Structure 1
C-alpha cells in the first residue's frame, strides 16, 4: 500500500490532465510510487508507455517487484525491437502499459507504426537526464502534436541533478510541455512524519586508512590545490567557491561547470583541461577507498597512458607520490638474499609464524645480474578487516 505522501502525489497527478514533473528526495521509493500509478491505469484510458534508458533498468526491476507484491495482475511487458512491426502495432493499440526504449519508440513514431491517438500518456523515468535535444523531448513533441490529450508524467529522485546548469528544471519542463512541478523533499510534513515513524538504526563504523593510502590522499589533495591555483589565475571563476574542501564533494564539478558554462566556448585549452583534471582527481579520491590496491594501480596506469600528453595534473610536483605509494601497496623491490630469508620465516601481524604465500618473480629476468627481485605486497583494503569483524 502506498504511503500517505505517495497517495498525495498520486492524487495531485491525477488532478492534472496534462501531467507533471515529480522530483523526490533520494530514498523515498520512486519505484513504489510508479507501481501504484500503473495499478490505477485502465485499458479503457489507452496505452501507457514507460520510457526506459540504460540507467533506469534497475528502477524497472524494482517497479516490477512492487507490482507483483501489490497486485496479482501480470506486470507490464517490454516492447523490444525483436517484435515484428504488426505485433508492435497491436500492442500499441491494446490499452496496456508497456516499457519501451526511446530509440524504438522514436523509430515507430517517425515511420508511423504507432496509433498515437490510442496513447493515454507517457511516463519518463529519468527526468534529470533530459535536455531540449534529447530523444525523449523529441518524442513528447511529436506525441503532443498528434495527440494533444496525452499526458506526460516525468519522475526523478535525483534533485541535485536538476539544479545543474542554467535553469535546468525550467528547460526540462518546457521540453516536456509541462506546467506543473511537484517537489517532495524530506522535510515536507507528510514525508518527515512517515520517516520518523520508523527511524532507521544507524551504525557508524570508522575505517582508518593505511599509511600508504594516507600518503596517496595527501598527494591528491596537494595536486588538486595546485590545479585550483592555476584555475584561479584565469580570473573567470569565483575563487570563493574554489577550495580544496569543496573539491572533495560531488557538487564541485557542478559548481565549476555552472560558472563556466556561459563562457565555455571562450576558455582556453589549458583551462578546460584543468576542469577535467579536477574531476579526475576527485574520482581518484573516491576510488582510493573503493578499489583494492591492484585495481587502483591499474586505473592509475591507464590514466597515465590515456592522459599523459594532455593532462596538467600529471606534471604537478606531488603527482609522483600518488604513483609511488600506489606501487608500494602492490609490490616492492628487494634483494634476493633478503627474499630468501623472508621465505623461511614470515611473521604475521599477530606475531605467529607462517609460511609466505607471496610469489617472487625476477624483474625482467635480471635477478642473476642485479640481485634484485620483485616481491608482492598486495596490501589488503582496511574495510575488509572491518567487514570480517562486523560479521
Structure 2
C-alpha cells in the first residue's frame, strides 16, 4: 500500500460517520477500496458496496486476489443479484460479509423490509460524482441513516472535474449523503507527489497540431465568445443574482455554454460529425440564440463546410482549383439543386462537388506513434536474436 492510501484510510477511520473522498484520476482507487475491505471484520456487520461499475468490480477483486495469491481471502466480496430469493438475500444481509449490490435491488429490499438495517455496518459508494439530490443512492442513505445512526458512509470519486459541474456540486453531494467531511487528494498533494516521484514514469508529450480550417473555427468561436461577453457586460454589468437577470442575459449565458461545447467538440469529433452538429444547432437555436447572429459566426459554418466539401467548376471535364494533396471524389450536381443556384456557371461548365473529408489530426499522430512503437519492438526483437546467436 502506498503512503497516501494509508493517510486516506486513517482520515476516514477517524470520523465514524465516514466522508467523501475525491482523488485525481489514475491514483489507483480500486487498490484503496481493496485495502479498506481487508480492514473489515464480519463482527462489525455487513458492508455493502454500491454503484460500482463492472470494471471497478473486476479491478477490486483482482487486487484482493493479488494481495493474497496463495491463501484464501477472508473477506472477498460477492454480489447480491435479483436472481437470489428474498430469504437468501436476508441471510446474506445478516452474515457480516462484504457484498456488491445495485441501488435498485437495495432500495426494493429496504422498502419491503427485507433488509435488517441494524445489521449493516456501512456503505461504500463509488462514482460519487454521479449522485444528486434525487438519485436512488441518496434515498437509500436517507432511509438507512434514519434507522441506523451508527452506520458509516464512505463515498469515493476519481473524477474531480465532474465535482465542479453545476452549482455547488460537492456541497450538494455531501448534503445528500449526510456527510460533513470532504477529503481532496490531488496529484500535487505532498504525500501523493512524494509517492509518484519515487518511480516516475517516462512521459512523452505529443502535441497534436490543428489544421488551418480548425484554427479558423477556433479563432471564430473565440471572437463570438468575446462578442457575447461584451454584450453581457453591456446589458446587466454581470449582476450575480441569477433570478433577477433578463431573458437576453440568460440566453447569452446559454450561448457561451454552447460555444464552449463547440471548442471541445472541434478536437473530439470528425469533420462530418462536427458539421452535422453545427447544422442541428442552426436548426434548433436559430430563432432564440444570439451567437448565431454575431459577426464572426458565419466563419464557423464556412470553415466547417470546407473541412467536408467545397464547390468548383469543371471546364471540359477538368476541375478548376482542385487540390492535388487531397484524395477526392467528384460527382455532378443536378441543375435543379439549390446549391448550384448561387454559383457562377459558364455555358460549357458544370458545378462539381469536391468531397474533402478532412482527417482529424489526432488520428495521424496516433498512427505515427503506433508505427514508432512497432519499430521499437522490432528493434528490441532483433537485438535479442543477435544476443542469442
Fold conserved between structures, TM > 0.5: yes
**What is the deviation of 1:220?**
0.7
Q: Paired residue for 1:322, among 280, 296, 300?
A: 300
1:211 aligns with 2:212: yes
Deviations 1:39-80 (A, max 9, x none): 333333322222217xx5554454344334334549534434
Query: Aligned in 2, Cα 1:162/1:297: closer, same or farther, shift over 3 Å?
Result: closer
Report the counterpart of residue 229 of structure 1 in structure 2.
Answer: 230
What does 1:235-384 align with in structure 2 at a 5 Å threshold? 235=236, 237=238, 259=240, 263-337=241-315, 340-341=317-318, 347-348=324-325, 358-364=328-334, 366=336, 371-384=350-363
SS at match of 2:204: coil
Query: Aligned in 2, Cα 1:147/1:235: closer, same or farther, shift over 3 Å?
Result: same
**Normalising to structure 2: TM-score of the pair?**
0.80
1:120 aligns with 2:121: yes
SS at match of 1:94: coil
Q: Is the 8 A contact 1:333 1:375 kept in 2?
A: yes
Report the counterpart of residue 17 of structure 2 in structure 1.
Answer: 18
What does 1:59-138 align with in structure 2 at a 5 Å threshold? 59-71=56-68, 73=73, 76-81=77-82, 83-138=84-139
State the distance in 2 between where 1:325 and 1:9 align.
Answer: 50
State the distance in 1 between where 2:247 and 2:108 align.
Answer: 38
State the distance in 1 between where 2:79 and 2:276 align.
Answer: 39
Task: Pick which of 78-87 and 280-289 moved more.
Answer: 78-87
Task: Pick which of 292-301 and 59-68 moved more.
Answer: 59-68
Root mean square deviation of aligned Cα: 3.1
Residue correspondences, number = 356
Task: Pick which of 137-146 and 180-189 moved more.
Answer: 180-189
Deviations 1:341-379 (A, max 9, x none): 369x98448xxxxxx5x3323335659997212121111
Query: Aligned in 2, Cα 1:63/1:366: closer, same or farther, shift over 3 Å?
Result: farther
Task: Pick which of 374-383 and 177-186 moved more.
Answer: 177-186
Q: Is the 8 A contact 1:47 1:93 kept in 2?
A: yes
Report the counterpart of residue 380 of structure 2 in structure 1.
Answer: none
Query: Aligned in 2, Cα 1:16/1:294: closer, same or farther, shift over 3 Å?
Result: same
SS at match of 1:99: strand
Deviations 1:314-345 (A, max 9, x none): 2222111111111111111122447x4369x9
Report the counterpart of residue 27 of structure 1 in structure 2.
Answer: 26
**What is the deviation of 1:148?**
1.8
**What is the deviation of 1:4?**
1.3
SS at match of 1:334: strand
Deviations 1:257-278 (A, max 9, x none): xx5xxx3333333222222221
Mark the runs of 5 or more structure 1 residues left unpaired by the alignment. 239-258, 350-355
State the distance in 1 between where 2:263 and 2:164 align.
Answer: 24
SS at match of 1:233: helix
Deviations 1:136-184 (A, max 9, x none): 2322121112112221111223445545666654554343233444333
**Normalising to structure 1: TM-score of the pair?**
0.79
Report the counterpart of residue 140 of structure 2 in structure 1.
Answer: 139
Deviations 1:55-106 (A, max 9, x none): x555445434433433454953443445544443343333332233333322
Report the counterpart of residue 252 of structure 1 in structure 2.
Answer: none
1:387 aligns with 2:388: no
Q: Is the 8 A contact 1:366 1:372 kept in 2?
A: no
State the distance in 2 between where 1:100 and 1:300 align.
Answer: 42
State the distance in 1 between where 2:159 and 2:128 align.
Answer: 9
Task: Pick which of 300-309 and 274-283 moved more.
Answer: 300-309
Mark the runs of 5 or more structure 2 residues left unpaired by the alignment. 372-389
**What is the deviation of 1:236?**
5.4
